[in-house]
Structure formats: C-alpha cells, structure tokens
Amino acid sequence: MKIKEQLNYIEQVKNKFTKPHYYYILTMGCQLNENDSEKLCGMLEKMEYQKVENMKEADIIVFNTCCIRENAEEKLFGKLGEAKEFKMKKGTIIAIGGCMMQEPHMVKKITESYPYVDLIFGTHTLHKFPEDLEKVLEKNKIQDVLDIDGEVYEGVPIKRQDKKKALVTIMYGCNNFCSYCIVPYVRGRERSRKQEDILKEIENLAKEGYEEITLLGQNVNSYQGSGEEKYGFSHLLRDVEKIEGIQKINFMSPHPKDFTDDVIEAIADSKKVTRIIHLPLQSGSTEVLKNMNRKYTKEQYLTLVEKMQKRIPGIVFSTDIIVGFPGETEQDFEDTLDVVKKVHFEQVFMFIYSRRKGTMADKMENQVLEEIKHKRFERLKQLVESQIAENNQKYIGTVQNILVEGKSKNNDHMLTGRTDTNKVVILEGEEDLIGKTIPIKIVSEHMWYLKGVKS
C-alpha cells in the first residue's frame, strides 16, 4: 500500500518537469548502502531524473551516508562544502540519507551548521523518497527520520549498477550489539524479507540475464524466513541454488557464532556458492572478543575454519579485523596476528578502532593511544601483504574461469574480472568479452591483482 502511494508521488514529481532533470548520487559505506542507493536511483529515474557523474551538472545531489567509522563524517562535511557552491549558484537541491542521519547528534549538526540542506531522510524512510522530494520541490525543508524500525517494503523501484551481478538484501538490521558497532542503533532490529519475495526477485534477475547474486544482510546466517516450518539461511541458499541462470552465489556477512552445520552442508552441496567465505574475525584475542560481545573465542573461530576446510575442499576466507579496541594489549594483538598466520586469509579488511557515540565500547575507559593503534595497524598490514604476495603465487600458471566485468579502471585498454576467490584479474581483450565467463591463464601477480591471458 505504502509503495503504491509513492508511485503516485513519482507521477506528481514527473509532471512538474518540462525539461530534463539530472541527479548526482554519492554512496558511502557498505554494499547494503549500495543496494539502497540502487533503490534511490530507481526512484529518481522513475521520476525521469537522469544520472550525472559530476555534482556541478545536477539538479539534485543525494548523499547516502555511512557512520561506521569517524572518517565517513569528515568525508560528508567536505562534500557538503562542495555542494554548497552549486546550491548558491543555481539552487541545486541537497538531500542526505543513510545511516548517519539515524544519529540524532548528526541531524542536529547538519541542521545547525549546514542549513542549506533541503532533505534529511533516514534508513527507515528511504522508500518515501518520492513523497519527501515532492515536498521539497514545493519549497519545503524536510526532515523525515524514524527512530523505530521500518517495515520491510517490497516493490521499491530499483536501478542496478551492473548487468550481470546483483545485490539482493535479504534482511535488515542487527540484533548483535557488538560493543564497538553503531549499526544496531542506526539500522534497528533484525527484520528478514519473506523467502517468496527474495526468490521471486532472484528469478526475475535470472530472466533478465543476471548470473551472480550477492545476498546481503548485517548477519545473514540469522536469516529467518516466514511460514510454519523453520526456514533459515541454509534453506534459502538451497532454494537460490535451484534458480536456473544464476551461476554464482555470494553472501555478506555471516557471523561466526551463527555459522551452523546446516549452512556448511548447504555450501558443501552447492555448485554455485562462492568458495571464498567472508568470516569477520574482528580480533584474535578471546579476551578482546569477549569485550567486543562477539560470543566466540579464538579457538572456536579456528575450529570453525578447520571444520569448513575439511568439509568444503578448496574453501578460502576473507575477514574484517579491528586494531586497537579498548584494552587491547600487546599479547591480544599478537593473538590476532597468530590467527592471521594460521588461517592465511585471501583478503583482510583492516580497520583502526574508531569511537562511536552511543556504543558500549565508547564508554570503556581503557582506550588505546592513537600512536599504538597506528603502529599495530602497520604491523598487521605488513603481515597481510606478505601473506597475500605468497598466496598469489599459487595462481600463477593456473586456468581460472573469469566473468569479465568491464574495462579496467586504471587502464582503459585492459579488461577486468574476478576469480572464484574474488581476486581481481586484469586481461587484454575486446570489449565484446564483457559479461562473458571465459577461461583465463594467470601469468603474473601484482599484490592486489593478477594478470591473465585467454587460455
């Protein structure tokens, strides 16, 4: 019902324009935000706005924000400074949405220090964007942020970024309250989409020619479908597997504490689920993990990895690690290095702990000095890079099936794709290979990417 109303607003906005209108969107943060931005683009394009890559050409500038770490705020303020110039010159509409707008102190700061912002919307009101924009076009300033969990809305228009790979959000919110993390406060409690809706979306994607799906959620393995019978993440994986046309299934992110045997079995039985599993470690120290409220120990994490390695031949892992959590000692940090050495991650996303207002960890008194955090970060980075360089060697001379995604960002004459283990591969070839999966022989390694030739 609510979406129907929004479709009416879409018509109203559309009818206001006699000449082409343009939008610019900047997405910060994770893939869930990217998927939300795809919905914003979908709604804007239904309103007949056209996308531009340069703020200066836009009639509306949309910032879809993230607040997971402090540097996201600095980035937004910088961008708002740039946007102001266009507001002054030609009255460009400025809209800010996303996680940061779910933080009351940030909304206060924006309204007080950046009064030229026209529209502030939150994560729970994203689907109301057409209605809010209609009001802004009537020269109102709008603040539309809900601090209660939004419902799950189906049918929001969507404009996907890619033609072969699609992001599919399966659940919203998080119940875990890891003590460093702001997400449960800005995205609310876990709400899963119905399995019928998810499967219908993926079937339609397959019909449109999509081959690769990434199932998204803050904690995908606590997915709970609807109905009388228990329907969890493993059931969903098995049902997505059956959809013809879909060749590859990724998911992001699971929580180690919820990685149950039925999910491991579903992956083991699958021909489509990726053989690189993102398994956020956060810290290798049992004491730090306890203070982070992660609910697993160093040993339990390592046992889970071993169990999966035994059951799923060829499986590899990527992870997230936070350095400098309050109270982290040299020994705790050594434990993190130890896990990295043992698991040999294919990829590690490394973060320096960032204090987030309202979280438990922000109130802890034993914060680690910035200098120590940075030194530890450098040590971790060195270890990870040496492991990656070593790991890359195993690809040389192998033939990998690569879905060619597009032109390389850094070199227009080269194409780019990824291995099954998510390694970037650069290759020479004609543009008509884009969208095709082809065998590629890996000939050299360059730390963050591999080079290949048609085999």
Tell me which residues touch ligand SF4 (CB under 6 A).
174, 176-178, 181, 183-184, 218-219, 255
Q: Output the smallest distance, CB 349 to ligand SF4, in A.
A: 12
State the minimum distance, in angstroms, from the CB of residue 355 to ligand 5AD.
7
Q: Distance between CA 161 and CA 282 in Å, rounded? A: 30
d(CA 375, CA 369): 10
Is 180 strand, coil or helix? coil
Decide whether 184 or 452 has the Cβ nearer to ligand 5AD.
Answer: 184
Instruction: Please report, in angstroms and rounded to a whole number, the separation of the first and last CA atoms in the chain.
Output: 53
Shorter beta-carbon distance to ligand SF4: residue 44 or 174 = 174
Based on the number of CB atoms within 10 Å of its own CB, is 406 exposed (0-12), middle (13-18) or buried (19 or more)?
Answer: middle
Q: Which does 354 bind (CB under 5 to 8 A by kind): ligand SF4, ligand 5AD, none?
A: ligand 5AD
Closest to ligand 5AD by CB, 340 vs 442, is: 340
Question: Which tokens sit at 402?
Answer: 């690569």
Please identify which residue in the block is written with the tokens 């890559």. Answer: 53
Q: Which residues bind ligand 5AD (CB under 6 A)?
A: 68-69, 180-181, 280, 282, 320, 322, 351, 353-354, 356
**Residue 124 site contact among ligand 5AD, ligand SF4, none (CB < 5 to 8 Å, cut-off depends on kind):** none
Partner touching 255 among ligand 5AD, ligand SF4, none, CB below 5 to 8 Å by kind: ligand SF4
| Residue 53 C-beta: closest distance to ligand SF4, Å | 30
Answer yes or no: are the C-beta atoms of 425 and 442 closer than 8 Å.
Answer: yes
Q: How many beta carbons lie within 10 A of that of residue 140, not counting itself?
A: 11
Q: Which does 320 bind (CB under 5 to 8 A by kind): ligand 5AD, ligand SF4, none?
A: ligand 5AD
In whole angstroms, what is the distance from residue 48 CA to residue 454 CA? 41
Nearer to ligand SF4, 97 or 184 (CB): 184
Least Å from the CB of residue 377 to ligand 5AD: 11
**Smaller CB separation from ligand SF4, 97 or 280:** 280
Nearest distance, CB of residue 249 and ligand 5AD, angstroms: 21
Token pair of 420 as six digits: 């099954």
List of residues 6+ apart from 362 with CB closer than 8 A: 355, 356
Q: Residue 58 binds which entry of ligand SF4, ligand 5AD, none, with Cβ cut-offs from 5 to 8 Å by kind?
A: none
**Binding partner of residue 69 among ligand 5AD, ligand SF4, none, CB cut-off 5 to 8 Å per kind:** ligand 5AD
3-state DSSP percent of the chain in helix, strand and coil, to 5: 40, 25, 35
For strand 119-121 and strand 142-144, is the pairing parallel, antiparallel, or unpaired? parallel
